Every structure is written in structure tokens, then in C-alpha cells.
Amino acid sequence: MEKLLLSEIAECLGTECPCEKTITEISTDTRNLPEGCLFIAIKGERFDGHTFIRKAIENGAAAAVSEYPVDGCPCIVTDNTRKALLKIAAYYRRKFSPILVGVTGSVGKTTTKEMIALVLSEKYKTLKTQGNFNNEIGLPKTLFNLNSSHEAAVIEMGMSNFGEIERLSETAAPTMGVITNIGFSHIENLKSQDGILKAKLEILKGMEDNAPLIVNGDDARLAPLKNNLDAHQVYLYGTDNECNDFKAVNIKEENGITIFDIKYPDGEITAEIPCVGRHNVLNAAAAFAVGILNGLSDTEIVSALKKYKPDGMRQNIVKKGDVTVIIDCYNASPDSMRASLNVLAGMECTGRKIAVLGDMLELGDSSEKLHRMAGNMAVHASPDMLFCFGKDSGYIGEEAKKSGINAYHTCDKNMLTEKIKEFIKPGDTILFKASRGMKLEEVIDKLFG
């Protein structure tokens, strides 16, 4: 972070400055308070940062942002510290003029973000969202890492309800937006896929008119934007839609690598990514589009995509002795469940194919319907054995059994582990897929170490 004056921050928030100091970092965590830090006291469901203000000052914080004065502590007092964090981040971000790509969507945000950052880094010094810092606390922390040396930034935007993407977009002010798809994540709050589309389109709120929007042209809800957004130039990417501006074709998977051709308005080139699955081809196509629209050559882009490394918890394919393990335990929705099952179905295997599927969380009243949908997806993947873990995953097993798939269901993680241990043999390929809260990686650890 580059230096800010405390008076600048107070002016940005429209309130009084308690004293003049130079701020070199902004934090919401008293465990990380370097000299010259501004501590922002955030209220959460289970904590209130205001109780730590005095400790923050004692530990070296220059001042605090608070919703009320604290005796003996220099505080900028404001009505809402969560809103203040966003306001300060928005003020700071506008000190710089990087290419700033905002990425949202139901699934694939993080992988797409990583691929875009790799591409832009071929030509520009690029900042990217780290980990899952994609909410109203994490996104400002990413923006505070901007400095005058950065020429580009790739900012992931997550949400669980209406209004969140709007606030994130208005804070980050993207010069370009990417929407990966409209699926079912957070349908509990947003009620329908149309509601999810509306929430994702809030990314436009922080973008200037004519700023490009890049969307998945194979998505039935996103493709029509091409002709329905007068204020923005819309570009489509994908594998199927003939109207896609950036289209991946001739897709071939072998030994954990995917090779494909990308056709785009100015030509065609062969690309390679060190992972499998059509969804990853889509992510790469989005990154290719971002690269072309920001002045990179196609050869620079495909060179960058080769360097992509899958995250350990996101569809990471590893060998555990004589067993091939597909680890995809970071998150789950019907869309990502389909993608993972398709990867399992497409894998070469000398033994049997096994799917271990856990609950998909935060689906609300649609949970039974969507878990039954996942059961039908499992049928199309044709695993030799299906293990289902969690209350609602029972519906997956019920649907799969109707079509003759061997399925076992339990809510006991130890029992699940023992049943898999009894079944699995050398040469098998096994997929682990569930929402993060199901902690399926614990089963992997017990099985394979």
C-alpha cells in the first residue's frame, strides 16, 4: 500500500480527523498491525472489532475507524465501519489507473481469475485477488495492495445476495467485466436463475459506459446480452454457440492436458492447458478474450495459459500410489458437480471409476430437486460405484439407483471412509466432490495420508 494521510481518509468519509498521521497499511485484524497501520473496527455476526480498538492502539496502530469514540484512542468516527472500509478502498483505488478486470459468476470465478492474471502478467505487472478474498472485507484488502507500479489487476467478486456485487463493483471500478455463468449457487437467497443473473449484472454498476463485458456465450441467460446491452460492448466466449467471438474447438484431452484451437475475429491458434474438463477450456477462453482485448498477442496468451497450475482443492488430479484421485472439495453446485463428473467420465482408467459426492450447501428449498438433478448427472458419468455423503446427498443416490448405478449413502464420515477403503483397488480412479463445509478432504487424508 502507498501512504495515505489520516486527514485524507477522514475527508473521504466526510468526518473529522482526530490528528494528522501517515497511514502505511489498513487492517481489520489486531493480529496484523504494523507501525503506521489504521485499524478498522468491523462488526461481524460473532465478533465486534470495537472491543479491540484499545488493544490495536497499544499494539502500534496509528488510529482506528470506529462507530463511536474510545477514550484515549485517536478515532475517525463514522456511522458504519463496513461501509467505511469500502469507501476508503474506493478512494484508494482511484489513485491509480490500471487495467482492472472484475470477475464474477456462479462457478469458475477463481480459476478464471487465475488464468486471466497469468495472461495479463505476460505484458503487465498484475495484482490479483488472493485466495477467496472476494467479499466486502476481502476485496478492499486486495485493492489496498495496489501501487503505482501495477499496470493491471484481476479482482474476483463473490456474493450471496442482491446488492453485494454492486457495492464491490462500485468500489473496484472495473475497466472490464467477466461473467463466467449463471448457475444455482446461492439460489436460496436469490430464488431463481433470473435472480442470480440480475445479481451478477450488478458488476456493471461500477463500470463506465462502453467498458467491455465478456460473458459465457454458451450460457442461455448470458448469450442474449450480446444484443441487449446498449451501454457496453459485449463479447461472447465458449465452445458451442456459433455467435461466440472467442470459440474453442477441436478439444482433445490426454494425460491431464487439454489441447484445443481458439478461433477469434483476427485469427486462430492452438492452446494448451495442464488440466482437463470443458469448464476449464471455457475459463481459458475467457482469459484469452481478456488478453486479446488488452493488447496481448495470441502467442503471448497461449504461452501464459500453459503455466496454469490447478489449486490443490479445486479439481486437482493426483496419484496416490496406484490410485488416481480427483480432489474437488473446495465448493460444489449443480454446475460444478456436472463438470467434475464429466472429468471423471473422460478419464482413462485401467480399473474402475468411483464417485464420492457430498452435499451441495446453500440451495434452500431447491436442495432436493438439485441433488436429484446431480443424481441424473452421475448416471450419465456411469461410475462403477457411487458413494454419497450427507443428508441431501441421499437424493443423489436415490436417483442414480433408479438407473442401475451402485450407490451407498451415509451421514457418518468414518463409515464412509471404511466403505471406500473396502471397495477401492489399485488402478481405480476416484472423484471427491462436495461443498467446502462437508470437509471431504478429511476422508482423503484418512484413506491416502
- 86 in any annotated domain: no
* pLDDT band at 107; cut points 50, 70, 90: confident
Question: Among residues 425, 419, 413, which one has the least CA distance to residue 350?
Answer: 425
Among 245, 75, 71, 426, residue whose Cα is nearest residue 448: 426
Alpha-carbon distance of 88 to 107, in angstroms, equals 29
Residue found under cell 502467442: 299
Report which of 355, 332, 294 is spatially closest to residue 436, judged by C-alpha positions. Answer: 332
Residue 87 lies in a domain: no
Q: Is 35 exposed, middle or buried (0-12, 13-18, 19+ CB in 10 A)?
A: exposed
pLDDT tens, residue by residue, 289-326? 999 999 999 999 999 999 998 775 666 888 899 999 99
pLDDT tens for each residue of 153-175: 999 999 888 999 999 999 999 99
Considering the domain architecture, whether residues 226 and 334 belong to the same structural domain is answered as no
- Residue 189: pLDDT above 80? no
Please check whether residues 220 and 353 belong to one and the same domain. Answer: no
In a domain, 89, yes or no: no
CATH number of the domain at 37, please: 3.40.1390.10
Query: Span 111-137, mean pLDDT?
Result: 95
- pLDDT-above-70 percentage for the chain: 99
Of 24, 47, 79, the position where a domain reaches its end is 79
The answer to whether position 418 is within a domain reads yes
Same domain, yes or no, for 360 and 295? no
Q: How confident is the model at residue 52 (pLDDT cuts 50, 70, 90)?
A: very high
196 shares its domain with 63: no
| Domain co-membership, 349 together with 219 | no
Region of 87 on the Ramachandran plot (φ > 0 left; ψ -120 to 50 alpha; else beta):
alpha
Same domain? For 301 and 328 the reply is no
pLDDT digits (tens, 9 = 90+) for 386-407: 999 999 999 999 999 999 999 9
pLDDT at 309: 87
Asked if residue 249 and residue 112 are part of one domain, the reply reads yes
Give the chain's domain count.
Answer: 3
CA separation, residue 150 to residues 25, 36, 73, 93, 153 (Å): 17, 23, 35, 11, 7
Determine, yes or no, domain membership for 227.
yes
The percent of residues above 90 in pLDDT, for the chain, comes to: 80
Separation CA 283–CA 40 (nearest Å): 36
Among 79, 110, 143, which residue terminates a domain?
79
**Looking at the structure, do residues 148 and 17 belong to the same domain, yes or no?**
no
Q: Is residue 407 part of a domain?
A: yes
Domain of residue 49 covers 4-79
Assigned domain for 311 exists: no
For the stretch 198-226, pLDDT in tens is 999 999 999 999 999 999 999 999 999 99
Q: Considering only 97-101, 216-220, 274-278, 408-412, which range has the smallest mean pLDDT?
A: 274-278
Quote the pLDDT of residue 312.
57
Domain membership of residue 394 (yes or no) is yes
100 and 205 part of one domain: yes
Same domain, 169 and 293: yes
Cα-based distances in Å from 246 to 51, 232, 281, 366: 52, 17, 11, 34
Residue 377 pLDDT exceeds 90:
yes
pLDDT, residue 8, reads 96
Per the CB < 8 A criterion, the answer to whether 435 and 396 are in contact is no
CA distance 283 to 281: 5
Residues 150 and 254 in one domain: yes
Cβ count near 245 (within 10 Å): 20
Mean pLDDT of 70-74: 93
Distances (CA, A) of 202 to 83, 89, 184, 372: 18, 18, 17, 31
pLDDT at 185: 75
125 and 193 both lie in a single domain: yes
pTM: 0.87
Which residue among 270, 305, 340 closes a domain? 305
Residue 7, pLDDT score: 96
Output the average pLDDT for the chain.
93
pLDDT tens digits, 231-259: 899 999 999 999 999 999 999 988 889 99
pLDDT band at 90 (very low <50, low <70, confident <90, very high): very high
CATH, residue 123: 3.40.1190.10
Query: How does residue 85 score in pLDDT terms, banded at 50, 70 and 90?
Result: very high
